[in-house]
Amino acid sequence: MSDEVEDKHLELITDVFGQFMTMEDIEKAPEHEEDEGEQIEEDIYLHVDNLPDALLALDIDPTEEEFEEIVRTLDPDATGKIYFEPFAKVMSLKLESQNTGSQHNEQVVEAFRLFTDGEDRDITLQDLQRVAAEVKDNPALEELREMMMGKQSISLKEFEDIMKQAKAL
């Protein structure tokens, strides 16, 4: 197996791949054996119809567009077969991306709480004024109101969206 697959994900990915191979897939796989008696990975495949269940088992919930992209990546010739090594590489990347995503989420919450002074509430204009003063930035009140986008407060979700638009994530 390639170094491109994170070791921490390999066992889970292998288990899920094997779990969603159909008996027909297993029976059709050639009986080649390597020196250690293991079947050659290139001959083992998962039917593309089983991919949604495999993704669910890995707790990967792609949008329809992302799912189609995954299928095109794993089955570029539309054979209906997804071979183990590309599956393992793509799933490892997806799992790593999820981990990064949750780290980003933690960073967003942490940054959000800097504005709310650690309280579990929305950001207000007064919060922006306080933070601006703390960082020795003195924007005009009108600039701060523009940052609030005409709202009385900004929720965590809105804050996250703003951070994404600003490419801070």
Q: What angle do CA 163, 97, 18 make, to 5 degrees?
A: 155
- Each residue's pLDDT tens digit, 29-69: 655 444 454 544 556 789 999 999 999 999 888 889 999 99
Calculated CA dihedral for residues 72, 4, 51, 24, nearest 10 degrees = 110
Q: Give the pLDDT of residue 34.
A: 47
- CATH H-level superfamily of 7-100: EF-hand (1.10.238.10)
Q: Where are the domains of the chain?
A: 7-100, 116-165
Average pLDDT over residues 117-138: 91
pLDDT over 90 at 28, yes or no: no
| Percent of the chain with pLDDT strictly greater than 70 | 78
Q: Give the pLDDT of residue 23.
A: 62
- Each residue's pLDDT tens digit, 155-166: 988 888 888 777
Average pLDDT across the chain, whole number:
82
Q: Give the pLDDT of residue 129.
A: 92
Higher pLDDT, 168 or 94: 94
Average pLDDT over residues 129-144: 89
pLDDT over 70 at 169, yes or no: no
Q: CB under 8 Å to 51, separation ≥6 — which residues?
A: 20, 67, 70, 71, 74, 82
